[in-house]
């Protein structure tokens, strides 16, 4: 996979994480949406920061994506089996975005390594 495709994939995954914040975080009728919770706002903000850093070509984008991943994993562990689709989707896409950005960083270092 080329570098451009890896970056676009990571951007798309981070964008889906942002959109997942509009969904419920628990399987209850009156569940809190991601934007209504402080952790959801943090995931939203760090995902947007990751998208901006990818656009700027900064390698540190994986840190922002990793932070969104850590916050969403923490939230899903706290809720246990009551996690809603929004939180499940956020965990999946944030984890994939972080893995893609780390993969891109390692591949870029290998491409630029002296022979």
Domain boundaries, the chain: 3-105
Residue 32 to residues 10, 38, 101, 103: CA-CA distances in angstroms?
27, 11, 30, 34
Positive or negative torsion for Cα 57, 64, 103, 79: negative
Residue 90 to residues 4, 15, 84, 110, 112: CA-CA distances in angstroms?
23, 10, 10, 30, 33
The confidence score (pLDDT) of residue 50 equals 94
Mean of all residue pLDDT scores within the chain: 88
Q: What average pLDDT does range 48-60 have in this prediction?
A: 92
Q: Is the pLDDT of residue 73 over 70?
A: yes
What is the fold of 3-105?
Substrate Binding Domain Of Dnak; Chain:A; Domain 2 (1.20.1270)
Per-residue pLDDT reduced to its tens digit, 20-38 = 988 877 777 666 677 778 8
Residue 109 to residues 33, 57, 95, 112, 115: CA-CA distances in angstroms?
39, 14, 21, 5, 12
Which ranges constitute the DSSP H helices of the chain? 3-20, 38-56, 61-79, 85-111
Q: What average pLDDT does range 75-81 have in this prediction?
A: 83
Per-residue pLDDT reduced to its tens digit, 57-66 = 888 899 999 9
């Amino acid at each position: 996979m080329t570098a451009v495709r890896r970056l676009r994939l990571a951007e798309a995954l981070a964008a889906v994480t942002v959109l997942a914040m509009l969904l419920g975080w628990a399987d209850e009728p009156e569940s809190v949406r991601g934007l209504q919770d402080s952790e959801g706002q943090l995931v939203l903000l760090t995902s947007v920061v990751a998208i901006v850093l990818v656009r700027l070509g900064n390698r540190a984008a994986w840190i922002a994506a990793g932070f969104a991943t850590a916050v969403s994993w923490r939230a899903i562990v706290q809720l246990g089996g009551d996690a809603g689709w929004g939180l499940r989707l956020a965990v999946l896409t944030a984890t994939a975005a972080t893995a893609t950005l780390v993969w891109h960083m390692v591949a870029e270092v290998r491409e630029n390594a002296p022979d």
